[in-house]
Amino acid sequence: MKKLTLLLSLVLILLLGLAVYFFIGGTLSARPSVQTASAADYPEVFDSVRGLVESGAVSQLLDTAPLGDDPSRYTLVDITIDLFNRGMFAAEWLDIRVEGVPGDVAVYSLTGEGSDIEARGSGQVNLKLITAAAPDTPHRCVIQYYIYGMKRTIAVD
């Protein structure tokens, strides 16, 4: 009977260890990089973005006020987030949202949404934002993903 108890205890410890590894190892880590430029330096991009905002064809509208005519009031922000999955399960169906700050207008380009990051793999998401806030204003991106149907969230500043 003691041998059976010892064996079952060992199995329980292994299962608990795997459960802990599943929860800890199932998280993504992120490394963001940000580039900014004045919209006045890229008038053709500003005109294109204004058309997207007016037509409602942007990925995420953060302010319903119309975009002004003066591009020098706006900054174009390019955020690239490198994601790393060190766990043994794939991170599935990425959903990216920006928590707007005062002055943010819209996310006009978003790539990487809906993609998966394989176990022990990496991926990248990129979003382009137009804002009237100062160029050094921090922005927060919230990334939601699933591991075996369990919803996980990370916030990247």
pLDDT given at position 129:
93
Pair 62, 122: CB distance under 8 Å: no
Q: What is the mean pLDDT of each run of 10 residues along the chain (157 residues)?
A: 88 87 77 94 93 90 86 94 88 88 89 85 92 90 88 90
Distances (CA, A) of 45 to 24, 39, 88, 139, 150: 42, 8, 41, 21, 39
Q: Which domains does the chain have, with CATH numbers?
A: 28-156 (2.60.40)
